[in-house]
A = this chain, B = another copy of it.
Protein backbone atom coordinates (compact mmCIF):
# COMPACT_ATOMS: atom_id res chain seq x y z
CA UNK A 1 0.00 0.00 0.00
CA UNK A 2 2.91 2.32 0.70
CA UNK A 3 4.43 1.25 -2.52
CA UNK A 4 7.45 -0.79 -1.62
CA UNK A 5 6.03 -4.21 -2.39
CA UNK A 6 5.90 -5.64 -5.91
CA UNK A 7 3.35 -8.37 -6.55
CA UNK A 8 0.93 -10.19 -4.32
CA UNK A 9 1.44 -13.92 -4.68
CA UNK A 10 5.14 -13.51 -5.37
CA UNK A 11 5.48 -10.41 -3.24
CA UNK A 12 8.81 -8.58 -3.14
CA UNK A 13 9.17 -6.01 -0.34
CA UNK A 14 12.11 -3.72 -1.01
CA UNK A 15 13.93 -1.68 1.64
CA UNK A 16 16.96 0.52 2.02
CA UNK A 17 18.63 3.76 1.08
CA UNK A 18 21.62 4.35 -1.15
CA UNK A 19 23.94 5.30 1.69
CA UNK A 20 22.24 3.63 4.64
CA UNK A 21 23.59 0.47 6.30
CA UNK A 22 22.03 -1.95 3.81
CA UNK A 23 19.50 -2.56 1.08
CA UNK A 24 17.54 -5.71 0.39
CA UNK A 25 14.18 -7.34 -0.01
CA UNK A 26 11.89 -10.01 1.33
CA UNK A 27 10.27 -12.40 -1.15
CA UNK A 28 7.05 -13.91 0.11
CA UNK A 29 5.35 -16.65 -1.86
CA UNK A 30 8.20 -18.46 -3.55
CA UNK A 31 7.15 -22.05 -4.21
CA UNK A 32 8.92 -24.57 -1.96
CA UNK A 33 11.41 -27.19 -3.03
CA UNK A 34 13.47 -25.21 -5.56
CA UNK A 35 17.27 -25.35 -5.36
CA UNK A 36 18.53 -21.88 -4.48
CA UNK A 37 21.87 -20.50 -3.36
CA UNK A 38 23.48 -17.09 -3.24
CA UNK A 39 25.43 -17.69 -6.44
CA UNK A 40 22.13 -18.02 -8.36
CA UNK A 41 21.27 -14.49 -7.35
CA UNK A 42 24.75 -13.01 -7.45
CA UNK A 43 25.08 -13.77 -11.15
CA UNK A 44 22.22 -11.39 -11.98
CA UNK A 45 23.40 -8.76 -9.51
CA UNK A 46 26.82 -8.77 -11.16
CA UNK A 47 25.24 -7.89 -14.51
CA UNK A 48 23.73 -4.75 -12.94
CA UNK A 49 26.71 -3.87 -10.77
CA UNK A 50 28.25 -0.38 -10.86
CA UNK A 51 31.90 0.13 -11.66
CA UNK A 52 32.13 -2.43 -14.45
CA UNK A 53 33.11 0.00 -17.21
CA UNK A 54 34.01 3.65 -17.58
CA UNK A 55 30.53 4.30 -18.96
CA UNK A 56 28.75 3.69 -15.69
CA UNK A 57 29.08 5.07 -12.16
CA UNK A 58 32.49 4.46 -10.60
CA UNK A 59 30.96 3.61 -7.27
CA UNK A 60 32.58 0.28 -6.60
CA UNK A 61 30.61 -2.17 -4.54
CA UNK A 62 30.59 -5.93 -4.71
CA UNK A 63 26.85 -5.96 -3.98
CA UNK A 64 27.30 -9.31 -2.28
CA UNK A 65 23.96 -10.83 -1.41
CA UNK A 66 23.25 -12.83 1.74
CA UNK A 67 20.22 -15.14 2.03
CA UNK A 68 18.86 -14.63 5.54
CA UNK A 69 15.87 -16.98 5.48
CA UNK A 70 13.57 -19.20 3.49
CA UNK A 71 16.21 -21.66 2.32
CA UNK A 72 17.10 -24.88 4.16
CA UNK A 73 19.81 -27.23 3.01
CA UNK A 74 19.89 -25.47 -0.38
CA UNK A 75 16.15 -25.62 -1.07
CA UNK A 76 13.41 -23.04 -0.76
CA UNK A 77 11.01 -23.88 2.04
CA UNK A 78 7.99 -21.80 1.00
CA UNK A 79 8.66 -19.24 3.74
CA UNK A 80 9.93 -15.68 3.13
CA UNK A 81 13.30 -15.36 1.47
CA UNK A 82 15.06 -12.31 2.89
CA UNK A 83 18.00 -10.99 0.87
CA UNK A 84 20.51 -8.57 2.33
CA UNK A 85 23.09 -6.43 0.54
CA UNK A 86 25.32 -4.30 2.76
CA UNK A 87 26.30 -0.87 1.45
CA UNK A 88 30.07 -0.60 1.54
CA UNK A 89 31.19 2.34 -0.58
CA UNK A 90 29.21 5.36 0.53
CA UNK A 91 30.95 8.67 0.09
CA UNK A 92 28.26 10.89 1.46
CA UNK A 93 30.43 13.97 1.44
CA UNK A 94 30.15 14.02 -2.34
CA UNK A 95 26.58 15.10 -2.01
CA UNK A 96 27.02 17.98 0.39
CA UNK A 97 26.43 20.61 -2.29
CA UNK A 98 22.91 19.45 -3.06
CA UNK A 99 21.56 19.46 0.48
CA UNK A 100 20.13 22.94 0.21
CA UNK A 101 18.78 22.95 -3.34
CA UNK A 102 16.82 20.73 -5.72
CA UNK A 103 18.30 19.13 -8.83
CA UNK A 104 16.06 19.78 -11.87
CA UNK A 105 14.59 16.48 -13.02
CA UNK A 106 15.39 14.75 -9.71
CA UNK A 107 13.22 13.33 -6.95
CA UNK A 108 14.81 15.71 -4.43
CA UNK A 109 11.92 18.09 -4.77
CA UNK A 110 9.08 15.60 -4.55
CA UNK A 111 10.41 13.56 -1.63
CA UNK A 112 10.84 16.78 0.28
CA UNK A 113 7.28 17.86 -0.38
CA UNK A 114 5.75 14.46 0.15
CA UNK A 115 7.40 13.51 3.39
CA UNK A 116 8.69 16.83 4.77
CA UNK A 117 12.05 15.12 5.20
CA UNK A 118 14.50 13.42 2.87
CA UNK A 119 17.65 11.39 3.09
CA UNK A 120 19.88 13.25 0.64
CA UNK A 121 22.82 10.87 0.81
CA UNK A 122 23.22 9.43 -2.67
CA UNK A 123 19.62 10.11 -3.52
CA UNK A 124 18.46 8.14 -0.48
CA UNK A 125 15.49 6.00 -1.35
CA UNK A 126 15.16 7.41 -4.87
CA UNK A 127 18.60 6.15 -5.91
CA UNK A 128 18.85 3.70 -8.80
CA UNK A 129 20.79 1.58 -6.32
CA UNK A 130 17.44 0.35 -5.04
CA UNK A 131 16.97 -1.62 -8.23
CA UNK A 132 19.54 -4.12 -6.95
CA UNK A 133 17.06 -5.91 -4.67
CA UNK A 134 14.60 -5.98 -7.57
CA UNK A 135 17.22 -7.72 -9.69
CA UNK A 136 17.92 -10.14 -6.85
CA UNK A 137 14.25 -11.03 -6.51
CA UNK A 138 13.95 -11.28 -10.28
CA UNK A 139 16.74 -13.85 -10.26
CA UNK A 140 14.65 -16.10 -8.02
CA UNK A 141 11.59 -15.71 -10.25
CA UNK A 142 13.65 -16.35 -13.38
CA UNK A 143 15.06 -19.55 -11.96
CA UNK A 144 11.64 -20.92 -11.11
CA UNK A 145 10.07 -19.91 -14.42
CA UNK A 146 12.93 -21.39 -16.40
CA UNK A 147 12.89 -24.69 -14.55
CA UNK A 148 9.12 -24.95 -14.57
CA UNK A 149 8.14 -23.62 -17.99
CA UNK A 150 11.38 -22.96 -19.85
CA UNK A 151 10.53 -19.28 -19.89
CA UNK A 152 13.54 -16.97 -20.33
CA UNK A 153 14.04 -13.20 -20.34
CA UNK A 154 16.27 -11.12 -22.58
CA UNK A 155 16.96 -7.43 -22.87
CA UNK A 156 19.10 -5.17 -24.99
CA UNK A 157 19.80 -1.52 -25.73
CA UNK A 158 18.26 -0.30 -29.00
CA UNK A 159 19.27 3.37 -28.88
CA UNK A 160 21.62 5.56 -26.84
CA UNK A 161 20.93 9.26 -27.22
CA UNK A 162 20.96 9.95 -30.95
CA UNK A 163 22.58 6.65 -31.87
CA UNK A 164 20.14 3.97 -32.98
CA UNK A 165 21.45 0.43 -32.51
CA UNK A 166 20.40 -2.12 -35.11
CA UNK A 167 19.53 -5.59 -33.89
CA UNK A 168 22.15 -8.10 -35.01
CA UNK A 169 22.02 -10.91 -32.47
CA UNK A 170 21.28 -11.61 -28.83
CA UNK A 171 24.70 -13.27 -28.71
CA UNK A 172 26.48 -9.91 -28.73
CA UNK A 173 24.65 -8.52 -25.70
CA UNK A 174 26.91 -9.98 -22.97
CA UNK A 175 30.07 -9.06 -24.89
CA UNK A 176 29.98 -5.28 -24.54
CA UNK A 177 29.36 -2.86 -21.69
CA UNK A 178 26.21 -1.44 -23.35
CA UNK A 179 24.03 -4.57 -23.57
CA UNK A 180 24.00 -3.76 -27.29
CA UNK A 181 23.00 -6.52 -29.74
CA UNK A 182 25.79 -5.60 -32.16
CA UNK A 183 29.33 -6.85 -32.70
CA UNK A 184 30.95 -3.45 -33.13
CA UNK A 185 30.22 -0.92 -30.40
CA UNK A 186 32.86 1.65 -31.35
CA UNK A 187 30.19 4.19 -32.37
CA UNK A 188 28.62 3.84 -28.92
CA UNK A 189 31.99 4.21 -27.23
CA UNK A 190 32.74 7.37 -29.19
CA UNK A 191 29.34 8.82 -28.36
CA UNK A 192 29.66 8.07 -24.67
CA UNK A 193 33.23 9.35 -24.46
CA UNK A 194 32.16 12.67 -25.95
CA UNK A 195 29.19 12.80 -23.61
CA UNK A 196 31.31 12.18 -20.52
CA UNK A 197 33.73 14.87 -21.59
CA UNK A 198 30.85 17.35 -21.89
CA UNK A 199 29.66 16.59 -18.36
CA UNK A 200 26.21 15.90 -19.69
CA UNK A 201 23.95 12.81 -19.73
CA UNK A 202 21.72 11.18 -22.34
CA UNK A 203 18.59 9.06 -22.74
CA UNK A 204 18.20 5.57 -24.09
CA UNK A 205 15.75 3.10 -25.51
CA UNK A 206 15.57 -0.53 -24.38
CA UNK A 207 13.87 -3.68 -25.53
CA UNK A 208 13.03 -6.61 -23.29
CA UNK A 209 11.40 -9.87 -24.22
CA UNK A 210 10.23 -13.18 -22.76
CA UNK A 211 10.41 -16.47 -24.66
CA UNK A 212 8.53 -19.73 -24.11
CA UNK A 213 5.73 -17.83 -22.51
CA UNK A 214 2.91 -19.65 -20.79
CA UNK A 215 -0.48 -19.03 -22.42
CA UNK A 216 -3.32 -17.50 -20.44
CA UNK A 217 -1.42 -15.27 -18.01
CA UNK A 218 -3.03 -11.95 -17.14
CA UNK A 219 -6.27 -11.01 -15.49
CA UNK A 220 -9.27 -9.21 -16.83
CA UNK A 221 -10.27 -6.43 -16.33
CA UNK A 222 -7.72 -4.17 -14.75
CA UNK A 223 -4.76 -6.41 -13.92
CA UNK A 224 -4.06 -7.20 -17.53
CA UNK A 225 -0.63 -8.66 -18.19
CA UNK A 226 0.34 -5.66 -20.31
CA UNK A 227 -1.03 -3.26 -17.69
CA UNK A 228 1.20 -4.85 -15.08
CA UNK A 229 4.17 -4.80 -17.46
CA UNK A 230 3.61 -1.09 -18.05
CA UNK A 231 3.39 -0.54 -14.30
CA UNK A 232 6.63 -2.43 -13.77
CA UNK A 233 8.60 -0.67 -16.48
CA UNK A 234 7.28 2.85 -15.84
CA UNK A 235 8.19 2.29 -12.20
CA UNK A 236 11.82 1.77 -13.17
CA UNK A 237 13.73 4.96 -12.43
CA UNK A 238 13.89 7.40 -15.36
CA UNK A 239 11.48 5.51 -17.65
CA UNK A 240 9.13 7.92 -19.45
CA UNK A 241 7.43 5.65 -22.00
CA UNK A 242 6.46 2.01 -22.45
CA UNK A 243 5.33 0.10 -25.51
CA UNK A 244 3.96 -3.40 -25.95
CA UNK A 245 4.33 -5.02 -29.38
CA UNK A 246 3.75 -2.48 -32.15
CA UNK A 247 3.42 0.28 -29.54
CA UNK A 248 3.01 3.78 -30.90
CA UNK A 249 3.25 2.49 -34.47
CA UNK A 250 -0.23 1.07 -33.88
CA UNK A 251 -1.64 4.58 -34.26
CA UNK A 252 -1.16 4.45 -38.03
CA UNK A 253 -2.00 0.77 -38.41
CA UNK A 254 -5.20 -0.51 -40.01
CA UNK A 255 -7.22 -3.29 -38.39
CA UNK A 256 -6.87 -5.42 -41.50
CA UNK A 257 -3.12 -5.70 -41.04
CA UNK A 258 -2.47 -4.99 -37.38
CA UNK A 259 -4.13 -8.08 -35.89
CA UNK A 260 -1.75 -11.04 -35.99
CA UNK A 261 -3.25 -13.72 -38.24
CA UNK A 262 -3.54 -17.18 -36.69
CA UNK A 263 -2.39 -20.26 -38.55
CA UNK A 264 -2.20 -23.92 -37.56
CA UNK A 265 1.50 -23.26 -36.95
CA UNK A 266 0.98 -20.29 -34.67
CA UNK A 267 0.74 -16.55 -35.12
CA UNK A 268 1.93 -15.05 -38.41
CA UNK A 269 3.52 -12.02 -36.74
CA UNK A 270 3.62 -10.28 -33.36
CA UNK A 271 2.12 -6.80 -33.37
CA UNK A 272 0.36 -7.87 -30.20
CA UNK A 273 3.68 -8.21 -28.39
CA UNK A 274 2.39 -11.44 -26.90
CA UNK A 275 -0.75 -10.07 -25.25
CA UNK A 276 -4.39 -9.98 -26.41
CA UNK A 277 -7.13 -8.66 -24.17
CA UNK A 278 -4.55 -8.41 -21.41
CA UNK A 279 -3.79 -12.14 -21.48
CA UNK A 280 -0.67 -13.83 -22.84
CA UNK A 281 -1.00 -15.56 -26.21
CA UNK A 282 2.13 -17.70 -25.97
CA UNK A 283 3.95 -15.44 -28.44
CA UNK A 284 7.10 -13.77 -27.13
CA UNK A 285 6.41 -10.80 -24.90
CA UNK A 286 7.83 -7.71 -26.61
CA UNK A 287 8.33 -4.58 -24.54
CA UNK A 288 10.15 -1.33 -25.31
CA UNK A 289 10.84 1.63 -23.06
CA UNK A 290 12.25 5.15 -23.15
CA UNK A 291 14.70 6.24 -20.47
CA UNK A 292 15.37 9.90 -19.77
CA UNK A 293 18.85 11.32 -19.21
CA UNK A 294 20.22 11.31 -15.65
CA UNK A 295 19.48 14.48 -13.73
CA UNK A 296 22.76 14.35 -11.80
CA UNK A 297 25.19 16.11 -14.14
CA UNK A 298 28.29 18.29 -13.91
CA UNK A 299 26.70 21.17 -15.86
CA UNK A 300 25.19 23.89 -13.67
CA UNK A 301 21.41 24.21 -13.72
CA UNK A 302 18.93 26.85 -12.56
CA UNK A 303 16.94 25.83 -9.51
CA UNK A 304 15.68 27.04 -6.15
CA UNK A 305 16.87 26.37 -2.63
CA UNK A 306 14.89 25.22 0.40
CA UNK A 307 13.80 28.80 1.00
CA UNK A 308 12.44 29.06 -2.54
CA UNK A 309 15.20 31.43 -3.67
CA UNK A 310 16.84 31.05 -7.11
CA UNK A 311 20.26 29.38 -7.18
CA UNK A 312 22.40 27.04 -9.27
CA UNK A 313 23.12 23.38 -8.66
CA UNK A 314 25.89 21.06 -9.86
CA UNK A 315 26.13 17.39 -9.01
CA UNK A 316 29.61 16.11 -8.43
CA UNK A 317 29.78 12.58 -7.08
CA UNK A 318 29.81 9.45 -9.24
CA UNK A 319 26.88 9.08 -11.58
CA UNK A 320 25.87 7.12 -14.64
CA UNK A 321 25.97 9.39 -17.69
CA UNK A 322 23.33 7.10 -19.20
CA UNK A 323 21.23 5.23 -16.65
CA UNK A 324 19.75 3.27 -19.53
CA UNK A 325 22.89 1.16 -19.79
CA UNK A 326 22.49 -0.64 -16.50
CA UNK A 327 18.70 -0.72 -16.87
CA UNK A 328 18.72 -3.75 -19.15
CA UNK A 329 19.11 -6.47 -16.49
CA UNK A 330 16.66 -4.57 -14.28
CA UNK A 331 13.99 -4.50 -16.97
CA UNK A 332 14.48 -8.24 -17.51
CA UNK A 333 14.04 -8.82 -13.79
CA UNK A 334 10.88 -6.74 -13.67
CA UNK A 335 9.38 -8.61 -16.60
CA UNK A 336 10.18 -11.88 -14.84
CA UNK A 337 8.47 -10.65 -11.66
CA UNK A 338 5.32 -9.77 -13.61
CA UNK A 339 5.23 -13.15 -15.34
CA UNK A 340 5.88 -14.97 -12.07
CA UNK A 341 3.03 -13.19 -10.31
CA UNK A 342 0.60 -13.98 -13.09
CA UNK A 343 1.73 -17.59 -13.34
CA UNK A 344 0.88 -18.08 -9.67
CA UNK A 345 -2.47 -16.31 -10.10
CA UNK A 346 -3.27 -18.59 -13.00
CA UNK A 347 -2.44 -21.63 -10.85
CA UNK A 348 -4.71 -20.31 -8.12
CA UNK A 349 -7.77 -19.67 -10.26
CA UNK A 350 -7.41 -22.10 -13.15
CA UNK A 351 -5.34 -24.79 -11.49
CA UNK A 352 -2.64 -25.01 -14.10
CA UNK A 353 -0.51 -23.15 -16.61
CA UNK A 354 0.07 -24.14 -20.24
CA UNK A 355 3.16 -23.22 -22.22
CA UNK A 356 3.46 -22.72 -25.96
CA UNK A 357 0.61 -23.21 -28.41
CA UNK A 358 -1.76 -25.64 -26.75
CA UNK A 359 -3.76 -28.23 -28.59
CA UNK A 360 -6.94 -26.26 -28.95
CA UNK A 361 -9.14 -29.29 -29.43
CA UNK A 362 -7.95 -30.63 -26.11
CA UNK A 363 -9.19 -27.50 -24.40
CA UNK A 364 -12.77 -28.18 -25.47
CA UNK A 365 -13.71 -28.87 -21.89
Contact = CB atoms under 8 A, between A and B. Distances in A.
The number of times this chain is found in the oligomer is: 4
Nearest to A302: B261
Contacts of A250: 203, 240-241, 290-293
B297 A256 contact: yes
A17 interface: yes
A302 B256 CA distance: 10
Interface in A134-169: 159, 161-162
A275 B110 CA distance: 8
Given A4-B219, A240-B273, A254 B29 contact: no
A228 interface: yes
B4 A119 contact: no
Q: Which of A116, A201, A229, A363 is packed against the most chain B CB atoms within 10 Å? A: A116
Contacts of A197: none
Nearest to A120: B72
A293 to B, nearest CB: 4
Interface bin, chain A:
35 or more
Contacts of A119: 72, 77, 79
A162 B203 CA distance: 28
Contact of A69 (B17, B33, B262): B17
A301 to B, nearest CB: 6
Contacts of A79: 4, 15, 17, 115, 119, 124-125, 220
Nearest to A359: B308
Contact of A116 (B200, B235, B350): B350
Interface stretch (A6-14, A41-49, A55-63, A173-181): A6-14
Given A106-B259, A202-B253, A11 B1 contact: yes
Contact of A3 (B5, B220, B248, B365): B220
A295 interface: yes
Interface in A205-235: 205, 215-224, 226-235
A66 B227 CA distance: 29
A313 to B, nearest CB: 9
Nearest to A245: B240
Nearest to A67: B21
Nearest to A121: B72
A185 to B, nearest CB: 18
A268 B125 CA distance: 26
A227 B234 contact: yes
Given A227-B231, A231-B227, A264-B309, A292 B222 contact: no
Contacts of A110: 215-216, 218, 275-281
Q: Which of A11, A23, A232, A308 is packed against the most chain B CB atoms within 10 Å? A: A308
A326 interface: no
Question: 3 tightest CB-CB pairs across the interface, nearest first?
Answer: A107-B277, A3-B219, A105-B259
9 contacts: A1-B8, A2-B29, A3-B223, A3-B278, A26-B26, A78-B114, A104-B262, A240-B246, A255-B294
Given A114-B215, A161-B251, A261-B301, 6 more contacts: A1-B345, A2-B345, A15-B81, A22-B68, A107-B277, A112-B360
